[in-house]
Structure 1
């Protein structure tokens, strides 16, 4: 994974202070330790799931589902997986009914994921599914130790797995929350963690990623009032759900009151997919208000060599320049052309991330890269990156409405 910046870095002292802050955070924020975990117990648990299970269904919302979905949808097109993975993550009744129509309840294992053990959306869906399938062996519960959900699971004699200490939901993809459903589908979670570990070691051991991440985070923080919209422009449909994961990570972590002032701050995340969004959002970036930075993500090897046929179409001879061109080359030419066009504007902060191929290791690297970047920017704009009081406020109101 190579990250190239097209903007000037900020004060070196600011960067070093942020780096030291993250070094200290490693002592009490749990996600930093996930790349180095021993996954043997998780793999042993996965081996207990019967071979006749065809579908793994995650019942969870937000951080309980988005990370696993991002990895699964990235890998699925290029690898033959042993099981299907689906996600019950909405209280939309049409969505629930549609998903149920596509699975065999007797050949599905459900993972019920809730850090607190009391997530309303999750348990409204679980109650409905439990009314259809009440065999406790069909469920595994993933939650914090000692939560009400763990107590319930023990009551019905169902399996329970725990989240590690001090790992928030949106940072939990590399814990049991993401690793178990992915492993059950046949995704190589060891390679996933290896990719994350490579970024972690490069950053904390003065490697290439330290300088790159610090420069990028310092620029975002210094200019957060002007360039307060951050766009990922990913040139692959396989990254669609990675963009959704990034939106939650970035928005929920950075949209806050500052710790030492009364100001509201935040950087608005937007996920775009090229070339499709070249025909919609690009116009706003190119000629709209100068309040956006853009990160382009390219894939060098798509594991697919289909080419445009060598065909001449009457009255469309000018398009013969496409003939015999691999689609993988065309999509990256489109990306490069947009980058050049935006560079010519001269006042739009840009950077590019090149991913060598569609593998577990590479998506693991990309995930941990963005987790570190989020922590750095949060430190530099002076917010608590790891809480979400705005989300909790809505939950409190909903509970009062339900009680009434």
Structure 2
């Protein structure tokens, strides 16, 4: 048994069966076959150094990074940057071809002090390519090629070809790392480094989870999360992921994509129709106590609820409102004390109502190690659940039909 444990805690009063040994063995077979590339990212020093070196080279020339990506190429970096904050250069993420959004980005940036970072593993994503065309033209012609970075497949795709033809700097997304599992690759590491985050600490946090899983198997953090989630997967078809800190709401949105795309499948691994899935719902506490909790408390009892919690520094609230009972009682308390009490009380109320509740938490404010632990734990748990359910947690065939119909609608050659 390993003595090295992640600081991230997983607490629940629920009873659940441990993962079957066969699921753990299957995970290991997939890892040994090179299918789970995200597991190797915390120890890939070459990949880390490539991101850090490029950030060090380009950082002094800019004050803003515009990250052009969608799906995992945007959700992962946004979750990381929201949780930890930016400490040097700002990072703006454009994950929609909404012209108002793109125009607002251009109005708020100095094009001579902006780095365009285009992120797509396939190198063909239509939304990302459209935004590239718009923002590349916006950059001054004398510097645009030196201020464009492509983060993409190391060998194939039109973005890789364009980068080679035009002399753009590039960073690779390993072929064995899917988009929604890519936050610990250059997809997340490069913008994080430019924002001033400690990327080594991020990867150390992730490594503590993967090492714990490798050493401790069914009793590890990631395996316990998977076993608990799996126990209620079919009986509770909605998974509410309640982030009890504003800075963690983007992590809830990241989880929603990870969970939905990985486990929402029509076919199992044998090709049999199963139509499996559990709908994730990203929520923000305490705000959503005033919107969703009524449904959770008195609506259909079909929800599993995960609380993601952390602490924040907060000073005592001032006085001056004696005689106003609804205000006076809060004097001398703190914002953090109220938020923490509400999180605990909401979890207790939902448990009393009979809903299954689990809590992911870590002492202290969100930091790079915290994010690394959360990302790796939930990625491993998601793959374990997929293998236990007999579906492929790495593909997303259901996304393709919409793409094809979009291409037909716009008259793309070969799709009419």
TM-score, normalised relative to structure 2: 0.91
The answer on whether the counterparts of 1:173 and 1:179 sit within 8 Å (CA) in structure 2 is yes
SS of alignment partner, residue 250 of structure 1: helix
Aligned partner of 2:397 in structure 1 is 389
- Say which is worse superposed, 318-327 or 383-392, in terms of deviation: 318-327
Pairwise CA distance, 1:24: 1.9
Superposed, 1:151-300 pairs within 5 Å as: 151-206=161-216, 210-257=219-266, 258-260=268-270, 261-300=272-311
Residues 314-354 of structure 1, C-alpha deviations (whole Å, 9 max, x = no match): 4x325432111121121111111111212222x21111111
Provide the rounded CA distance (Å) in 2 between the counterparts of 1:219 and 1:318.
Answer: 40
SS of alignment partner, residue 72 of structure 2: helix
Provide the rounded CA distance (Å) in 1 between the counterparts of 2:224 and 2:334.
Answer: 35
Match of 1:110 among 116, 122, 135: 116
Aligned partner of 2:16 in structure 1 is 9
The answer on whether the counterparts of 1:253 and 1:385 sit within 8 Å (CA) in structure 2 is yes
The structure 1 segments of at least 4 consecutive aligned residues displaced by more than 4 Å after TM superposition are none
The answer on whether the counterparts of 1:220 and 1:227 sit within 8 Å (CA) in structure 2 is no
Any unmatched runs of 5+ in structure 1? none
Match of 1:130 among 123, 131, 136: 136
Provide the rounded CA distance (Å) in 1 between the counterparts of 2:253 and 2:322.
Answer: 39
Residues 3-34 of structure 1, C-alpha deviations (whole Å, 9 max, x = no match): 11221112x4x432222222222222211111
Pairwise CA distance, 1:387: 0.4
The answer on whether the counterparts of 2:203 and 2:369 sit within 8 Å (CA) in structure 1 is yes
1:75 has 2:87 as partner: no
1:375 has 2:380 as partner: no
SS of alignment partner, residue 136 of structure 1: coil
TM-score, normalised relative to structure 1: 0.93
Pairwise CA distance, 1:224: 2.3
Provide the rounded CA distance (Å) in 2 between the counterparts of 1:31 and 1:96.
Answer: 31
1:210 to 1:200, Cα distance in 2 relative to 1, 3 A? farther
Pairwise CA distance, 1:217: 2.2
Match of 1:100 among 80, 97, 106: 106
Provide the rounded CA distance (Å) in 1 between the counterparts of 2:329 and 2:357.
Answer: 29
Aligned partner of 1:351 in structure 2 is 358
Residues 108-161 of structure 1, C-alpha deviations (whole Å, 9 max, x = no match): 011111111111001111111122224200101111122221111111111121
Pairwise CA distance, 1:229: 0.8
The answer on whether the counterparts of 1:15 and 1:214 sit within 8 Å (CA) in structure 2 is no
SS of alignment partner, residue 206 of structure 1: helix
Pairwise CA distance, 1:267: 0.9
Provide the rounded CA distance (Å) in 2 between the counterparts of 1:215 and 1:290.
Answer: 23
Provide the rounded CA distance (Å) in 1 between the counterparts of 2:355 and 2:343.
Answer: 16
The answer on whether the counterparts of 1:3 and 1:354 sit within 8 Å (CA) in structure 2 is yes
Match of 1:22 among 27, 30, 45: 27
SS of alignment partner, residue 155 of structure 2: coil
- Say which is worse superposed, 365-374 or 392-401, in terms of deviation: 392-401
Provide the rounded CA distance (Å) in 2 between the counterparts of 1:94 and 1:360.
Answer: 32
Pairwise CA distance, 1:50: 4.8
Pairwise CA distance, 1:242: 0.8
SS of alignment partner, residue 8 of structure 1: coil
Provide the rounded CA distance (Å) in 1 between the counterparts of 2:367 and 2:220.
Answer: 25
Provide the rounded CA distance (Å) in 2 between the counterparts of 1:19 and 1:310.
Answer: 56
Residues 284-328 of structure 1, C-alpha deviations (whole Å, 9 max, x = no match): 11111111100111213x1x22222123354x3254321111211
Provide the rounded CA distance (Å) in 2 between the counterparts of 1:317 and 1:222.
Answer: 45
Any unmatched runs of 5+ in structure 2? 1-7
